[in-house]
């Protein structure tokens, strides 16, 4: 991929940039679309993994944040606010500090992975923990933005969706057309909405001949779109998608229906198994929520609901280093210690004898 710097420069003519000249960017986008042959063998499909953890702050949020922050700066905002399960707050803090604005982040207390909290801290976020869940945080963030001089940078901000749709453009630009299926995790439902918008625009304008079926997956303990009603006390090991009232839920259901796709749920165990598979078999370390799309594909395959021979892209949304506690909690950390001697090290390795 031969790229300009960041998604706005690369896709400027497909983004609402009228009257805006100062861009806030950290060089997001152009993330790897990695062939995943072992995953493909398991699923009897040709599979690529869109590695969004390769973005500047380690998640797909940066694609939307460059747009939301560019717009906020153009509007003369001095401060931005977001509710977050972690990644949005990390991204908003980084992009706001780069733009010289104050980031205010509302987080559900005690439910943020340590790496993400560290990011908000080092980027100078004004961090306010809320004694409630993400849905409470989002309600407050909305009310703040309605009543005070602060811009909302959650994905209900349409500029976020505009930026995030560029991931679909990249997939088509690399593969030459849309895949048969695009699978991804669903939390607040902004990202599935954004991909669907991007694919539709590329079909309307020519680069793609068809749209993919959108396969969204939620965590079983936080699956309002599967259950058909809000969830008051969402719970899952995948804290990034611990959300009971997805703000863009209706748009996610429209993406599902218009694309002849589906939205299904996977258990925490299936999520952690998929995370382990990606790390140990494909060399891709993602956070738990990011493995939900892969977990969903495994589930469909095991239930005989995945036709063979399809071309599948699955988005993994965030970097595994953001939440090492969960990853390490499942394995025994096995290290060995010996004297500083090549012979002693060789003696431990069967292929050296």
Residues in contact with ligand F0G by the rule CB under 6 A = 59, 61, 84-88, 155, 185-191, 240-241, 287, 289-290, 317-318
- Strand ordering across the sheet containing 102-108: 126-130, 102-108, 79-83, 151-152
Our CB check for ligand F0G shows the closer of 31 and 188 to be 188
Closest separation in Å from C-beta 322 to ligand F0G = 8
β-bridge partners, 215: 183, 262
Closest separation in Å from C-beta 248 to ligand F0G = 7
Our CB check for ligand F0G shows the closer of 23 and 255 to be 255
How many angstroms separate the first and last alpha carbons of the chain? Answer: 45
Cα–Cα distance measured from residue 185 to residue 75, given in angstroms and rounded to the nearest whole number: 32
- Look up tokens 């995953």; give the residue: 39
- Look up tokens 């969004």; give the residue: 52
Closest separation in Å from C-beta 58 to ligand F0G = 9
Cα–Cα distance measured from residue 274 to residue 276, given in angstroms and rounded to the nearest whole number: 5
Cα–Cα distance measured from residue 275 to residue 263, given in angstroms and rounded to the nearest whole number: 19
Closest separation in Å from C-beta 83 to ligand F0G = 7
Closest separation in Å from C-beta 120 to ligand F0G = 11
Our CB check for ligand F0G shows the closer of 74 and 144 to be 144
- 184 near 192, Cβ under 8 Å? yes
Q: Is the dihedral of CA 343, 347, 351, 353 positive or negative?
A: positive
Our CB check for ligand F0G shows the closer of 46 and 217 to be 217
For residue 247, the 8-state DSSP code is: T
What's the Rg (C-alpha) of the chain? 20
Our CB check for ligand F0G shows the closer of 46 and 231 to be 231
- 300-307: long-range contacts, CB 8 A cutoff, minimum separation 24: 300/215, 300/264, 301/42, 301/43, 301/44, 306/43, 306/44, 306/45
Our CB check for ligand F0G shows the closer of 46 and 248 to be 248
Nearest to 75 by CA among 24, 125, 126, 123: 24
Our CB check for ligand F0G shows the closer of 187 and 261 to be 187
Closest separation in Å from C-beta 161 to ligand F0G = 9
Closest separation in Å from C-beta 13 to ligand F0G = 25
Closest separation in Å from C-beta 209 to ligand F0G = 26
Our CB check for ligand F0G shows the closer of 84 and 133 to be 84
Our CB check for ligand F0G shows the closer of 6 and 53 to be 53
Residue 39's alpha-carbon distances to 160, 217, 246, in angstroms, are 31, 17, 29
- 208 near 217, Cβ under 8 Å? no
- Three-class DSSP category at 111: coil
Closest separation in Å from C-beta 290 to ligand F0G = 5
Give the β-pairing of 46-51 and 33-35.
antiparallel
């Amino acid at each position: 991929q031969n790229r300009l710097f960041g998604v706005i420069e690369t896709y400027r003519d497909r983004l609402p940039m009228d009257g805006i000249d100062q861009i806030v960017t950290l060089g997001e986008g152009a993330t790897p679309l990695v062939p995943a042959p072992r995953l493909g063998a398991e699923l009897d499909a040709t599979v690529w993994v869109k590695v969004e953890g390769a973005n500047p702050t380690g998640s797909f949020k940066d694609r939307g944040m460059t747009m939301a922050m560019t717009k906020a700066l153009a509007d003369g905002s001095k401060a931005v606010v977001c509710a977050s399960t972690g990644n949005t707050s990390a991204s908003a803090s980084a992009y706001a500090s780069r733009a010289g604005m104050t980031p205010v982040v509302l987080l559900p207390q005690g439910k943020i992975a340590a790496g993400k909290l560290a990011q908000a801290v080092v980027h100078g976020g004004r961090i306010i923990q809320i004694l409630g869940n993400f849905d409470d945080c989002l309600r407050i963030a909305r009310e703040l933005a309605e009543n005070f001089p602060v811009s909302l940078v959650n994905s209900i901000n349409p500029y976020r969706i505009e930026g995030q749709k560029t991931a679909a453009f990249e997939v088509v630009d690399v593969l030459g057309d849309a895949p048969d299926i695009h699978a991804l995790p669903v939390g607040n439902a902004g990202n599935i909405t954004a991909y669907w918008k991007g694919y539709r625009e590329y079909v309307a304008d020519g680069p793609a001949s068809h749209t993919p079926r959108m396969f969204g997956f939620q965590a079983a303990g936080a699956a309002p779109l599967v259950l058909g009603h809000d969830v008051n006390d969402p719970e899952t090991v995948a804290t990034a998608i611990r959300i009971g009232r997805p703000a863009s839920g209706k748009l996610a259901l429209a993406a599902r229906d218009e694309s002849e796709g589906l939205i299904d749920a996977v258990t925490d165990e299936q999520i952690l198994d998929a995370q382990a598979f990606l790390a140990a078999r494909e060399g891709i370390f993602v956070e738990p929520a990011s493995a939900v799309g892969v977990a969903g594909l495994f589930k469909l395959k095991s239930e005989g609901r995945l036709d063979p021979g399809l071309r599948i892209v699955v988005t993994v949304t965030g970097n595994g280093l953001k939440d090492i506690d969960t990853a390490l909690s499942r394995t025994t950390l096995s290290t060995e210690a010996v004297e500083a001697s090549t012979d002693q090290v060789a003696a431990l390795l069967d292929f050296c004898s």
